[in-house]
Amino acid sequence: MAGATREADERWMREAISAARRAAREHDEVPVGACVVDAGGALLAVAGNRTRTDCDPTAHAEVVALREAARRAGNFRLNGATVYSTVEPCAMCAGALVQARVRRLVYGARDERAGAVESIFRVCDNSSLNHRIELTPGVLEADCRELMREFFRARRVKEGMRGEG
């Protein structure tokens, strides 16, 4: 069973990575991707960051994916669902996961500066809240981390070139 879960986790994380790449390539968004899979293993939603595109500070990949998944499921509670995110969610996204009653969160790279799942805060398994989420960190971590590194490396190069003019 653990092998089957690992295989499914990697499959869905690759889907989230693809969404992150599209967001960066097509919209110059920070490359974070997320997808929501229901209890039966069906994909409900996949999204990349849209904060710049939508001019919306709440349009993080996880929130955009949760909104679409809830619409498709016809319920704001996503009981039994698993969310895959390329990066450890921030406080806003972790709170949204709790509010949606997601069963499980799988994420790739830790976010030491803003992560609210394990790095800075522990929102998803906080005993003070009325819902706790099962956590699986580090799935395809190197790939997820490299996406972020490549994006910010390229951005620094671009900004350096603009500064020379």
pLDDT of residue 2: 63
C-alpha span between 19 and 23 (Å, rounded) = 6
Looking at per-residue pLDDT, the higher value among 156 and 22 belongs to 22
Q: What is the mean pLDDT of the chain?
A: 94
pLDDT by residue (tens digit) across 72-104?
999 999 999 999 999 999 999 999 999 999 999
Which position among 26, 29, 62, 150 bears the catalytic label?
Answer: 62
Average the pLDDT over each of 2-6, 16-20, 96-100, 155-159 and give the range with the smallest value. 2-6
Classify residue 132 as exposed, middle or buried by CB count within 10 Å of its CB (0-12, 13-18, 19+). Answer: middle
What phi and psi values does residue 20 have, to the nearest 5 degrees?
A: -65, -45
10 catalytic? Reply is no
Q: What is the mean pLDDT of residues 35-57?
A: 97
Residue 3's pLDDT band (cuts 50, 70, 90): low
